Chain A
Amino acid sequence: MLEFVDKGLKTAVQEVQDYVRLQIAVARGIFSRPFYMHDLIEQLDQIGIGSLTVVVLAGFFTGAVLALQTGITLDQFGARPFVGRLVSASMVKELGPVLTGLMLAGRVGSGIAAELGSMVVTDQINALRALGTDPIRKLVVPRVLAGIMMTPVLTIIADSLGILGGWIIAVFQLRVASSLYWTSVTEGLYLQDAWMGLIKPFVLGLAIVTIGCHVGMRTSGGTQGVGRSTTQAVVAASVAVIAVDLFVTQLLIDLLY
């Protein structure tokens, strides 16, 4: 039993150590040459444009259902006109970043882990190294940069579509005047909220992509191993999104409010 715990602890420590080493190597890769611009542009397209549909749909329907649910509750206090305030504050501060993060964990985290994992098990990563190319610079750095850059952009899109979805429900279902809704939306938002909604996605993007890369690069055990890595990446990145969100929220509340 003790031996089992000892082995488990060692594996966990090793995992954390490797993850930190990857982050350091990525930081070094960002600030020194060679830099693979072509790969960065390709990843910006894959992570950003490729995730647009899922983020747009998730944001829109979340905003709409939020308006629907809160409308009923607000009615009990005669506060239906304030639905816009609730939708905007919830979307910008919390739901936009977290839902976008979860969507990206599923789509991008799994994709990266599967792609890099397949390259590991078919010796393509070793082939890269044998050809004198550093796989961290060539494969990981462009993905991490693209993740950090595109997550905030996608979050803004999700926020906007959520507020739009809320507007449709507010106007056509709850019969709130359109101008009243938009006034409520702007009144409900403070500068600190906008900062919180913008800073969080940077951290979430970094966590999702580095987890995908870390899990992918450690793949072993053939095609079965690739499947295992893909699942692990989605689970770890999803949990990380929620956990990191809590800590970053607490930190930003202390710093901004």
Chain B
Amino acid sequence: MAVNSSEPADIELRHVSLAFDDKVVLKDVSFTLLPGHTKLILGASGSGKSTILKLILGLLKPDDGEVLVHGERVDRMAEPELLKMRGDLGMVFQEGALFDSLTVGENVGFKFYEDTDMPLEDVRQRVEEVLGFVRLDDYVDRRTSELSGGQRRRVAIARAMASKPGILLYDEATTGLDPITAITVDEEIVKLRDLEGVSSIVVTHQLRDAFFVATHGARRGGTQAGGNQIVVAPADAAKADEAEFIMLKEGLVAFEGNAAELRASTDPYIRSFLS
């Protein structure tokens, strides 16, 4: 997709290639994520999906090509610069990656406790606010070992969004969850995008979840709590077209387009993936 000159990209990958020894993980991958948009990266296990997120975060460096976040070359940054750059990025890891030695509240407020002089009462208030957003406000003092798989992912989302980053990266956030729990996680992704204006990259091999995020929208409305109830419902066609899919096949981009184009694709690999 071409970059709109009036709207600078949040994330851009230009001809990125990466190999581990003889194994090619990514080959000439390029894409752009615009502010407030969602990019859904699909592909089989080992196709290089999670590697893309690690490149964006600067946890890995590409062999070739450029990785840009807010127009800055991440692939050229040293670790101290990367630590600063990650301030505007939130990442939800595959299994949550919660710190087992800390409580739910300490996990969610980790960044504030460690890196800011924010008063503890204010940190607690923010922690309760984001835990309320993912409907886990009663769990603030629980140990992470007491949580179910779905709750762990939602706490991971709360931790990633606590410092209000402009970009959120989701690495298989619904893998291994039952369909009902997976939908609640998908709803959190949609809510963050539509209500908080967060740009997001969702890596998954669960088609159902990818299409849910692409085709649903969130808005505040309803009659409860002074009309402040959050409603997640199917989005209109124009909104659904905004979410862009990327399909990776053995490190190469096999498809790029919206949900309707993906469904209409006649490529045998994509057809077999969709069936």
Contacts and interface: CB of A to CB of B under 8 A. Distances in A.
A122 B115 contact: no
B86 A129 contact: yes
Contacts of B114: 36, 131, 133, 138
- The size bracket of the interface on B is 20 to 34
Contacts of A138: 114
Contact of B93 (A34, A123, A132, A133): A123
A64 to B, nearest CB: 38
B83 A133 contact: yes
A134 B83 contact: yes
Given A34-B115, A124-B99, A130 B57 contact: yes
Contacts, number: 54
B99 A127 contact: yes
Interface in B66-103: 79, 82-84, 86-87, 89-91, 93-95, 97-100
B147 interface: no
A138 B101 CA distance: 14
B83 A126 contact: no
Contacts of A131: 86, 110-111, 114, 159
B54 interface: yes
Interface in A117-145: 122-124, 126-127, 129-134, 138
A124 B98 CA distance: 7
A130 B94 CA distance: 13
B59 interface: yes
B87 A132 contact: yes
Contacts of A134: 79, 83
Nearest to A130: B91
A122 B97 CA distance: 6
Given A126-B54, A126-B59, A132 B111 contact: yes
Interface residues of A, number: 14
B263 to A, nearest CB: 33
Contacts of B159: 131
Classify the interface of chain B: helix, strand, loop or mixed: helix
B115 A129 contact: no
A122 B99 CA distance: 9
A34 B117 CA distance: 13
A123 B156 CA distance: 12
Contacts of B111: 131-133
B97 A126 contact: yes
A118 to B, nearest CB: 8
Contacts of B86: 129-132
A126 B93 contact: yes
Nearest to B162: A131
Contacts of B90: 130
Nearest to B87: A132
Contacts of B54: 126
A120 to B, nearest CB: 11
B97 A127 contact: yes
Nearest to A138: B114
B99 A123 contact: no
Interface string B179-192: 00000000000000
Contacts of B110: 131, 133
A105 B90 CA distance: 38
A131 B110 CA distance: 8
Contact of B94 (A36, A123, A132): A123
28 contacts: A36-B114, A122-B97, A123-B93, A123-B95, A124-B97, A124-B98, A124-B99, A124-B100, A126-B59, A126-B91, A126-B93, A127-B91, A127-B93, A127-B98, A130-B57, A130-B86, A130-B89, A131-B86, A131-B111, A131-B114, A131-B159, A132-B86, A132-B87, A132-B111, A133-B83, A133-B114, A134-B79, A138-B114
Interface of B: 54, 57, 59, 79, 82-84, 86-87, 89-91, 93-95, 97-100, 110-111, 114-115, 159
Interface of A: 34, 36, 122-124, 126-127, 129-134, 138
Closest 6 CB pairs of A and B: A123-B97, A127-B97, A130-B91, A123-B93, A132-B86, A132-B83
